[in-house]
């Protein structure tokens, strides 16, 4: 028996990966294991739940017994590990859950896989990580390569960096067939609306302020989630165990540019009395806010033939269309927990806009 375990498959990237994988490998046996935290939503998997080879397990990755049982019962020989606490602002408000899920959870998965696989080098454990582990770049430093030193600055990135180190150690010490991907900021359908792009779209439609941290000059590299999923699939299928692959969009944008672009799209699609740009507010900066991320994805391009295929204009337009068509999904997932988080995160941020 052979099975692919997808942890965090009810979240944004994991869910998109489940759909991508089953489209490309309709006969595969796919097991999603997810704790369904505020960020996980089974509704996001509605279109694949009836698939013959699909199974969902509601469990925490720190629950060793259940994870071990899933490995055994489902014949797990491959893992794509997405499950994580993923939002920087939440990690600042409450870091404990990040240490638990991202570090202890990754440890649990690695250790269960090591025992279940018992030295079988045909298995694959792909750990999905982030460019944020490398820290912050100045405006003109070269982009992150896979050998860039680790300098995480937030509780989120520090917990992801720790998990990357565990994965590396399981290769060096136990010869586990692991692979790590470090990717830049994703955007696309099903992203939880606490992250910049969906938050701005939904706030604009509701006539709420569009909070831009600091002066909006921080730079992120943006990649469409579907391109990221193709990259992960390429690494899972053809990557070399023990190796790290950076995945990025070669698409650096300042935050204010992103917010203005979103406003301009919405001005065309859903014109209001005044431009949505009037809602932009520069607010208190995020503590430890990394200035710039940029990814050098030369290695995965050269070795695995991957490259981003979705242009930013096209990807952003289709993402906005998706949110406009799924306002009911957004409404349902913004639970009481989300509203409490939103209050805590934004209530005290001082509006520093002039004029
Ligand atoms: P997300 O927050 O949308 O989803 C996380 C999923 O993990 C949710 O379904 C949640 O229920 C589940 N989960 C959380 N804690 C769990 C636990 N203890 N046990 C089992 N399941 C648990 O996150 P995302 O944006 O889809 O990110 C997925 C992965 O990709 C993360 O590891 C993240 O670090 C990484 N990543 C994200 C981005 C990005 O831009 N979003 C970029 C690079 C890397
Ligand atoms: P985010 O989507 O949280 O991703 P990350 O912090 O992992 O890069 O934020 C993207 C950028 O947008 C980041 O520089 C912080 C900024 N930001 C705002 O200016 N306002 C907001 O309300 C949010 C959520 C983010």
For the stretch 65-87, pLDDT in tens is 999 999 999 999 999 999 999 99
Ligand 2 surroundings by CB, under 6 angstroms: 88, 185, 195-196, 199, 211-213, 218, 220, 255, 286
101 Cβ below 6 A of ligand 1:
yes
- The encoded tokens of residue 158 equal 């520090």
Identify the nearest ligand to the CA of 210 by its number.
2
Q: What is the pLDDT of residues 98-112, one digit of tens each?
A: 999 999 999 999 999
17 Cβ below 6 A of ligand 1:
no
Q: Which of 159, 255, 260 to mutate to test the pocket of ligand 2 (most atoms within 8 A of CB)?
A: 255
Q: Please state, in angstroms and rounded to a whole number, the distance separating the CA atoms of residues 202 and 216.
A: 19
Look at 198-202, 206-210, 312-316, 330-334 and tell me which has the smallest mean pLDDT: 330-334
Average pLDDT over residues 122-137: 98
The pLDDT assigned to 355 comes to 47
Task: Quote the radius of gyration of the chain (alpha carbons, Å).
Answer: 20
The DSSP H or E segment spanning 56 is strand 54-58
Please indicate whether residue 213 is annotated as part of the active site: no
Residue 329 phi/psi, 5-degree rounding, is -60, -45
Handedness of CA 23, 27, 28, 33 (dihedral sign): positive
Q: What is the pLDDT of residues 148-181, one digit of tens each?
A: 999 999 999 999 999 999 999 999 999 999 999 9
The pLDDT assigned to 186 comes to 98
- The encoded tokens of residue 114 equal 């090591």
DSSP secondary structure, 49-105, as one string: TT-TTEEEEE--TT-HHHHHHHHHHHTEEEEEE--S---HHHHHH-THHHIIIIIII
Identify the nearest ligand to the CA of 188 by its number.
1
Residue 355 C-alpha to ligand 1 middle, in angstroms? 38
Q: Which domains does the chain have, with CATH numbers?
A: 3-185+224-247 (3.40.50.720)
228 confidence band (pLDDT: 50, 70, 90) = very high
Q: Please state, in angstroms and rounded to a whole number, the distance separating the CA atoms of residues 103 and 100.
A: 6
The pLDDT assigned to 89 comes to 97
105 Cβ below 6 A of ligand 1:
yes
Residue 89 C-alpha to ligand 2 middle, in angstroms? 8
Please indicate whether residue 73 is annotated as part of the active site: no
Q: Judging by DSSP bridges, how do beta strands 3-7 and 76-81 pair with one another? A: parallel
- The encoded tokens of residue 330 equal 């957004």
Q: What is the pLDDT of residues 268-286, one digit of tens each?
A: 999 999 999 999 999 999 9
The pLDDT assigned to 354 comes to 61
Q: Give Cα 200 distance to the centre of its chain.
A: 18
Q: What is the pTM for the complete model shown? A: 0.98
Query: Among residues 53, 42, 50, 51, which one has the least CA distance to residue 14?
Result: 42
Task: Specify the DSSP class assigned to residue 277.
Answer: G
Residues 6 or more apart whose CB falls under 8 angstroms from that of 79 comprise: 4, 5, 6, 7, 109, 113, 124, 125, 126
Sheet holding 124-130, edge to edge: 54-58, 30-34, 3-7, 76-81, 124-130, 178-183, 244-247
- Cβ-based neighbour number of residue 219 at 10 Å: 18
Identify the nearest ligand to the CA of 159 by its number.
1
Q: What is the pLDDT of residues 7-35, one digit of tens each?
A: 999 999 999 999 999 999 999 999 999 99
């Amino acid at each position: 028996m052979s099975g692919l375990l997808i942890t965090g498959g009810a979240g944004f990237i994991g869910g998109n990966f489940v759909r991508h994988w089953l489209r490309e490998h309709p006969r595969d046996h796919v097991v999603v294991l997810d704790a369904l935290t505020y960020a996980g939503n089974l509704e996001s998997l509605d279109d694949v739940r009836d698939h013959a080879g699909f199974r969902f397990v509601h469990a925490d990755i720190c629950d060793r017994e259940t994870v071990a049982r899933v490995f055994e019962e489902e014949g797990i020989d491959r893992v794509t590990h997405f499950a994580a606490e993923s939002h920087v602002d939440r990690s600042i408000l409450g870091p404990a859950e990040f240490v638990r899920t991202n570090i202890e959870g990754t440890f649990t998965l690695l250790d269960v896989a090591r025992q279940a696989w018992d030295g079988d080098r045909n298995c694959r454990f792909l750990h999905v990580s982030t460019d944020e582990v490398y820290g912050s770049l100045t405006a003109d430093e070269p982009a992150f390569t896979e050998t860039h030193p680790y300098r995480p600055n937030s509780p989120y990135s520090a917990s992801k960096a720790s998990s990357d180190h565990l994965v590396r150690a399981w290769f060096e010490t136990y010869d586990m067939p692991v692979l790590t991907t470090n990717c830049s900021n994703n955007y696309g359908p099903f992203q939880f609306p606490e992250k910049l792009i969906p938050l701005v779209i939904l706030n604009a439609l509701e006539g709420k302020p569009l909070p831009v941290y600091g002066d909006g000059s921080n730079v992120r590299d943006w990649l469409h989630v579907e391109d990221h999923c193709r990259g992960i699939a390429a690494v899972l299928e053809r990557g070399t165990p023990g190796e790290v692959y950076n995945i990025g969009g070669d698409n650096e944008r300042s935050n204010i540019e992103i917010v203005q672009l979103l406003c301009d799209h919405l001005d065309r699609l859903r014109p209001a009395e005044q431009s949505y740009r009037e809602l932009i507010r520069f607010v208190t900066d995020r503590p430890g806010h990394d200035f710039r991320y940029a990814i050098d994805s030369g290695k995965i391009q050269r070795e695995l033939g991957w490259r981003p295929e979705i242009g930013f204009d096209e990807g952003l337009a289709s993402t906005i269309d998706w949110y406009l068509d799924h306002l009911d999904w957004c409404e349902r997932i913004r639970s009481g927990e989300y509203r409490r988080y939103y209050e805590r995160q934004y209530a005290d941020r001082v509006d520093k806009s002039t004029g």
